[in-house]
A and B are shown apart, each in its own frame.
Chain A
Amino acid sequence: MAQPGFVPPDSNDFIFKPIFGSSIFMTKPALMIFFSVILIVVFFTISARKAAVVPSRLQFAGESVYGFVRTTIGQDVIGPEFERFTPFLFAIFTFVLTNNLFGVIPFMQFPTMSRIGFPVSITIFVYLVYHYVAIKKKGLGRYLKEMCFMPGVPKPIYIILAPVEFLTYFAVRPLTLAMRLFGNMFAGHLLLLLFTLGGEYMLKSALFVKFFSVLSFGMAIGLSFFEMGIECLQAYIFTLLAALYIAGALADEH
């Protein structure tokens, strides 16, 4: 496949020019973020407005998403105190899901979460929430003590264990949370770009090569459906882990 002239997609394909003037806040991903918020608000307002005992199709769709987050993620993971975190989890889930799915919707075709700034900003919220919840419930001293010193370990070993536990809570958790979402969306979009651009390039080449562009485009379409699955899964995992961290903050001990 070493053809001269084919330019493989790289991270520069993720940088967009400003739409209006030269403001870096008015790029395609930034507009898509605003659009996703409008989309979510409109959809759930309409689906809940004419709420009836026998739900319409739209109401059913809205309620099943809400019920999924509330029961499967909230209730099962957090436990008895889950009700006050349901709005938070629901907001995260719908926001991430919508922005991920933009990656396969025609004419948008860019998962917003493949720009690292967006996952990082959601992660900051999750980070603040789970530390705040824990400190409010236990107080800072007890929180750190329970975090770093697991019961039932010989005392000298704490010197080795405590820093690792501390680092897990304060650095590795938020880092993996943001990087996982970003990495999955980035890689998935790059893969789709590769097969689409490759197919396009082959279509412009010699006659014999043209036949193979069908394979490349076929791959791109197949992978689009695959990506759709990944995008839903990542939104789920992100919310699930946020719930798990909150559950860990609320738990009395390990």
Chain B
Amino acid sequence: MATTDDGAFWTIIAYLIAGLGFWGGMGFLADHFLKTNFLTVLGMFLGMATGLYLIWIRFIKESPK
């Protein structure tokens, strides 16, 4: 159905933003306090992976009826 597809689209966007934002932000803070410069990027990778993993669980593994 068209309605659930629209919903899925925005749910996916939300996961990607949340993952990237949270772990990227964590990395940035860690960089700031530990005076390093690679943790932001690592955090963003981790966040991206987390977002994709959540999408996979929600939409593929538990495939809705």
Residues of A participating in the B interface, judged by any CB pair closer than 8 Å: 72-73, 76-77, 150, 152-153, 157, 160-161, 163-165, 167-168, 171-173, 176, 237, 240-241, 244, 254
Contacts and interface: CB of A to CB of B under 8 A. Distances in A.
A57 B59 CA distance: 43
A161 B61 contact: no
A167 B50 CA distance: 13
B18 A164 contact: yes
A168 to B, nearest CB: 4
A73 B57 contact: no
Given A153-B57, A161-B50, A176 B7 contact: no
10 contacts: A77-B7, A153-B57, A160-B23, A161-B54, A164-B54, A168-B14, A168-B15, A172-B18, A176-B13, A237-B10
Contact of B18 (A171, A237, A240): A171
Interface residues of B, number: 26
Contacts of B32: none
Nearest to A253: B62
A160 B3 contact: no
A164 B47 contact: yes
B42 to A, nearest CB: 13
Contact of A241 (B10, B17, B22, B23): B10
A23 B54 CA distance: 48
Interface string B49-65: 01101100110011000
Given A153-B57, A161-B54, A164-B54, A76 B18 contact: no
B47 A240 contact: no
B34 interface: no
A150 B50 contact: no
A244 B3 CA distance: 10
